[in-house]
Amino acid sequence: PRQPAKTLWYDRPRYVYLEFCVEDSTDVKVTIEDQRLVFSCKNADGVEFYNEINLYARVNSKDSREKRSDRSITCFMRKWKEKVAWPRITKENIKPAWLSVDFDNWRDWEGDEEVERAMVEQYAEV
């Protein structure tokens, strides 16, 4: 039986970020479409995780990527309309139990673009 991974998300001027909290993940598959993201993986115990999110707004699937660490898999998706805030990550106005806002990374946008560019470049180098 598959279960959803605990997921954190936050919003930035140019990208939205999703972090799937699965430790020691294997078989990671991330499919990013214009308005949908599908994530699946297994953990060290062989538990299968699966999340499907219909996105609040359109993203540029070609300029979106993911990065895996021992603790989680982070996806960042380029917004189709930059500098438009997303009030939520899901198209439907419902909050799944497994989804929360990542308040540690949620900041005001003012003067944030340089910070964001540095973050994305740091991911891109990995």
pLDDT of 122 reads 73
Q: CA-to-CA distance for 98 and 115, rounded, in angstroms? A: 28
Q: CA-to-CA distance for 73 and 66, rounded, in angstroms? A: 7
pLDDT of 110 reads 65
pLDDT of 116 reads 75
The domain locations on the chain are 5-123
Q: CA-to-CA distance for 31 and 29, rounded, in angstroms? A: 7
What CATH number has the domain spanning 5-123? 2.60.40.790
DSSP 4: P
Q: CA-to-CA distance for 74 and 5, rounded, in angstroms? A: 12
pLDDT of 111 reads 64
pLDDT of 124 reads 65
Residue-wise pLDDT tens for the chain (126 aa)? 899 999 999 999 999 999 999 999 999 999 999 999 999 999 999 999 999 999 999 999 999 999 999 999 999 999 999 999 999 999 999 999 999 999 888 876 666 667 777 777 776 665
Residue type, 79: K
Q: CA-to-CA distance for 73 and 41, rounded, in angstroms? A: 10
